[in-house]
Amino acid sequence: MLFVPGSRPERYAKALASGADQVAIDLEDAVGPGDKDTARDAALAFLAARAPDAPGGECGLRINPPATADGIRDLQAVGGSSAEPAFVMVPKAESVADIEVVDAALGGRRSQIVPLIESPKGLLAAEAIAAASARVSALMFGGYDYAVALRGRPCWESFLGPRTHLAIVAAALGIGFIDVPFLGIDEVEELLRETDRVIALGATAKAAIHPAQVAKIQSRFLPTAAELAWARRVVDTIESRAGEAVAIDGKLVDRPIELAARRALALGALGVRD
C-alpha cells in the first residue's frame, strides 16, 4: 500500500502507476490544517472520475479520525459525493463506534474499511474493531503514533508485540494485516530485512511512503525459485497419492505443509524473487 499526500493531486496518477497493489490518498498526516478542504475536494473528484477498470491498483482514502471535526467533514463529503473509494482507512481506531460511523457514512458503496491501530487502547480493542463490520478487510499497524502513546521508542522491540497481536487477530478473522511503513527511503537492505521479518510474523502487506519501495516490498512476499520448485513437488506428490500419507525426502508432509505449499504456488504465479 503506497501513500500519496491528498494535497498533491498531481501525484495521484503517478502513485497508481507505481505498481502498488493499493494506493491510499492521505487526508490526515500528510495534509496541513489549512489544506484539508482542498485536499478532500481533489481526492473525491479524482475518485469520482476514475473508471472502475482504470489501470493501476485499488485507490482509497485515509480520512481524518472520525471523532474529529476534519474526520466528520471527510465522512460527510464522501457520503455526499459520487466517489466510491476502494477502501477507507480509519486512523486512530480505538472502538467499534469508530468503525460503525464510517460504515454508516459509506452507505451502499462497496468500499472496504481498513482500521489503523495506533494506540495501546486500539490494540486492546483490535479484535472487536476488526469484527465491527463486514467491510473490514484488513488491519494496519501505525507504529510511530503507537510508540508515542506507549511512552516508548519506535524500534523493533516496541513494535514486536503489537505486530504479533494484530497478525494473530487478522489471521483468526481471515482478513489482511498491513505493516507500518519503513521510513528510510534509501536504506534498501534494512527495508528488505524488516519486510522479511514482518512476513515471518504474519503480515500480508506492508505500507510504503515512496514509489521506489513498492517493488522491493512486493518481491519479499514472493517465493524463491527453490521454494516454488519445492511447493510444486509437494502438491504434485500429494495429488498423485490421492489422500495417502506422503513422505518427501524421508519427511512426512502433512496438511499444514500442503497449505503452505499451495500458498507459495499462488504467490509464485505472480513471480519469483532472487
Cβ-contact 99, 122 below 8 angstroms: no
**DSSP-derived 3-state class of residue 233:** helix
Residue % of the chain over a pLDDT of 70: 99
CA 75 to chain centroid: 21
Query: Quick one: pLDDT at residue 43?
Result: 98
Quick check: 245 pLDDT over 80? no
Split at pLDDT 50, 70, 90, the class of 158 is very high
126 closest CA partner among 140, 112, 108, 113: 140
Question: Using one digit for the tens of pLDDT, what is the confidence trace for 251-270?
Answer: 888 888 889 999 999 999 98
Would you place residue 250 in the very low, low, confident or very high pLDDT band (cuts 50, 70, 90)? confident
Mean pLDDT of the 109-115 span: 97
pTM assigned to the model: 0.92
Query: Looking at per-residue confidence, does 241 or 73 come out higher?
Result: 73
**C-alpha span between 253 and 239 (Å, rounded):** 12
In this prediction, residue 53 carries a pLDDT of 81
pLDDT band, very low/low/confident/very high, at 93 (cuts 50, 70, 90):
very high
Q: What is the pLDDT of residue 163?
A: 98
pLDDT number for residue 240: 85
Q: What is the pLDDT of residue 134?
A: 97
2-220 has CATH 3.40.50.1100 classification? no
What does the pLDDT read at residue 32? 96
Least confident of 93-107, 135-149, 218-232: 218-232
| CA atoms of 25 and 253, how far apart (whole Å) | 44
Distance CA 111, CA 18 (A): 22
Percent of the chain at pLDDT > 90 equals 86
Whole-angstrom CA distances from 238 to 223, 226, 250, 263 are: 20, 18, 14, 15
Q: Please tell me the predicted confidence (pLDDT) of residue 243.
A: 63
Averaged pLDDT, 147-176 = 97
Q: Does the pLDDT of residue 108 top 90, yes or no?
A: yes
Asked if residue 244 has pLDDT above 80, the reply is no
Per the CB < 8 A criterion, the answer to whether 3 and 10 are in contact is no
The two beta strands, 251-253 and 112-117, are unpaired
DSSP per residue, 97-164: HHHHHHHHHHTT---EEEEEE-SHHHHHTHHHHHTS-TTB-EEEE-HHHHHHHHTS-SSHHHHHHHHH
Burial category of 132 from C-beta neighbours within 10 Å (exposed 0-12, middle 13-18, buried 19 and up): buried
What is the CB neighbour count within 10 angstroms for residue 21? Answer: 14
Break the chain into its structural domains and give their ranges.
Answer: 2-220, 225-268
Q: How far is CA 9 from CA 48, 55, 63, 68, 165, in A?
A: 14, 17, 16, 24, 35
| HSE, side-chain direction, 13 A CA sphere, residue 231 | 20
At residue 172, the pLDDT reads 98
How far apart CA 146 and CA 161 sit, in angstroms, is: 11
Q: How confident is the model at residue 239 (pLDDT cuts 50, 70, 90)?
A: confident
If one counts every other C-beta atom within 10 angstroms of the C-beta of residue 210, the result is 16
Tell me: the pLDDT tens digits for 31-78? 999 999 999 999 999 999 998 788 889 999 999 999 999 999 999 999
How many angstroms separate the CA atoms of 82 and 77, rounded?
Answer: 10
What are φ and ψ of residue 179, in 5° steps? -85, 160
Mean of the per-residue pLDDT values for the chain? Answer: 95
Q: What is the pLDDT of residues 122-144, one digit of tens each?
A: 999 999 999 999 999 999 999 99
Res 205: pLDDT: 97
